[in-house]
Amino acid sequence: MNLPTPIDRQHQIEQARELCLNGQGRPTPSLGMTPWLMASWQRCLDQGLQAEQRVAFNPVSRQEMQRRSEANQGIVQVAHPIMTRLVETIADQRYFALLTDADGVVIDAQGPALESDIRARDLARIGVDLSERAVGTTAIGAALHEQRSVWLHQGEHFFKDNAIFSCAGAPLFGPKGDCMGMLDLTGIETPERRELKHLVSRAARQIENALSLSVRHALVVRFNWLGESLGHEADGLLFLDEDGYVVGANSPARQMLGHTLMAAGQQSGHASDIWAVPVERLFDMVNAAEAQTLPTWHGLHMQVACHRAGNPLHMAPERTPLHTLKDAVIKRAVEEAKGNVTLAAKQLGIGRATVYRRLRAARK
């Protein structure tokens, strides 16, 4: 089944707003909107907010912003070059990138739109509070509340004033699994670009992986399922101390291992509780020429590579080439269009020939 056309999609959103936000009903998933969106609308209604009221993008106090800047200096430094590459990828799409702290307050912003559109500058000022309680339903507030990547298009925002925006957001998790902030791509009066959810999620994982390197550790264990090549941001990363205890892990590692490795208040897990081999085996694998296949205690097998702390060689793949990111966006758009290249090209705002050319290049 093909994706809804822009006209059908807009009608669906307008119908949901009429029923849910104008006093004629309560948010319900039966309207075709995602459950998390309905839940966000309901929270806004419960706060006594009204969709027609004006929205102001207000900054926190100067003293509070100073405190937040100092607390998030490390995140900004790590994220800035990744955001720069992300902005280059979407340069022709009239989108810009935002980085917020865990409360939804802007701590960094990049993109050409910030220079050319006053509406972008107003929203993206350092210190502006973009949390759900301040500006209603947005990808920023939703990603922080849901703790997962989201896509939000125009009228899906709670406040009518925010219907000019389309945005994709992804939370950022620290080495111990705590949410440290979120990364967002926002466009103003742009066609819907659902594939940007995939792109912002990849960039968020790159930031998380870079943040994990700040944890004091002795060994980095990079792993993935058999058949998946190692060397990209979707790999699981575990950071071990000299005794083999887990001192940090990225999001893919938590997802693949199926449990929280660093739950608050609990003792750190140990590598020997994950892989059915002595921990010494992992240290002996340092800088081996090829990844090795190791079994888990659940009977699954993974390919694993290890290196000592401070060796940047294995982290180089985080610098994904620009053309690779663009190809990923195009491939995802075609997949979501169920192979309909014409529809994918229309949604991307590029020519059909460009889509075919990039798909052929990616296969070489």
Q: What is the pLDDT of residues 136-162, one digit of tens each?
A: 999 999 999 999 999 999 989 999 999
Distance CA 201, CA 170 (A): 6
In three state form, how does the secondary structure of 202-218 look?
HHHHHHHHHHHCCCCCC
Percent of the chain with pLDDT over 90: 46
Q: Say if 33 falls within a structural domain.
A: yes
Question: How many CB atoms are located within 10 Å of the residue 341 CB?
Answer: 16
Q: Say if 317 falls within a structural domain.
A: no
Q: Are residues 104 and 153 in the same domain?
A: yes
Query: What is the CATH number for 337?
Result: 1.10.10
Within 13 Å, how many C-alpha atoms sit on residue 37's CB side? 24
Q: Are residues 200 and 103 in the same domain?
A: yes
DSSP per-residue codes, 219-268: EEEEEEETTSPSSSTTSEEEEE-TTSBEEEE-HHHHHHHTS-TT-TTSPP
User: 164 phi and psi, to 5 degrees?
Assistant: -80, -10
Q: Are residues 82 and 148 in the same domain?
A: yes
Q: Say if 245 falls within a structural domain.
A: yes
Final residue belonging to a domain, choices 189, 211, 233: 211
Report pTM: 0.76
Domain count, the chain: 3
Q: Are residues 296 and 352 in the same domain?
A: no
Q: Give the pLDDT score at 231.
A: 83
The single residue listed with the structure tokens 């997962």 is: 148
Q: Are residues 68 and 112 in the same domain?
A: yes
Q: Say if 17 falls within a structural domain.
A: yes
Final residue belonging to a domain, choices 276, 294, 312: 312
Q: Are residues 168 and 87 in the same domain?
A: yes
Q: Judge contact between 183 and 110, C-beta under 8 A.
A: no
Q: Helices (DSSP H) in 166-195: which residue ranges?
A: none
Q: Are residues 349 and 238 in the same domain?
A: no
Whether pLDDT at 331 is above 50: yes
Q: Are residues 228 and 178 in the same domain?
A: no
Q: Say if 132 falls within a structural domain.
A: yes
Kindly tell me the burial class for residue 235, based on how many C-beta atoms sit within 10 Å of its own C-beta (0-12, 13-18, 19 or more).
buried
Residue 194 structural domain: 6-211
Q: Judge contact between 139 and 192, C-beta under 8 A.
A: no
Collapse the DSSP code of 195 into the 3-class scheme (helix H, G, I; strand E, B; otherwise coil) and give the result: coil
Q: Judge contact between 177 and 193, C-beta under 8 A.
A: no
Q: Are residues 192 and 221 in the same domain?
A: no
Query: What is the CATH number for 226?
Result: 3.30.450
pLDDT single digits (tens) 36-63: 998 999 999 999 889 999 998 999 999 9
Q: Give the pLDDT score at 315.
A: 40
Q: Are residues 165 and 194 in the same domain?
A: yes
Q: Are residues 197 and 275 in the same domain?
A: no
Distance CA 282, CA 173 (A): 25
Final residue belonging to a domain, choices 211, 232, 261: 211
Q: What 8-state DSSP symbol labels residue 148?
A: S
Q: Say if 1 falls within a structural domain.
A: no
Q: Helices (DSSP H) in 47-193: which residue ranges?
A: 62-71, 73-89, 113-116, 118-123, 132-135, 139-146
Checking DSSP bridges between strand 179-188 and strand 106-110, what pairing results, if any? unpaired
- Of 81, 141, 90, nearest to 111 by C-alpha is 90
Q: Say if 278 falls within a structural domain.
A: yes
Distance CA 147, CA 173 (A): 9
User: 151 phi and psi, to 5 degrees?
Assistant: -125, 135
Q: Judge contact between 114 and 96, C-beta under 8 A.
A: yes
Query: What is the CATH number for 143?
Result: 3.30.450.40
pLDDT single digits (tens) 177-233: 889 999 999 999 988 888 899 999 999 999 998 888 888 899 999 999 988 888 888
Q: Are residues 225 and 277 in the same domain?
A: yes
Rg of the chain over CA atoms, in angstroms?
22
Using pLDDT thresholds of 50, 70 and 90, give the confidence band for residue 320: very low
Token representation of residue 112: 């050409």
Strands laid side by side in the 150-153 sheet: 106-110, 95-101, 179-188, 165-173, 150-153
Averaged pLDDT of the chain: 83
pLDDT single digits (tens) 251-260: 899 888 876 4
What is the arithmetic mean of pLDDT over 307-311?
A: 75
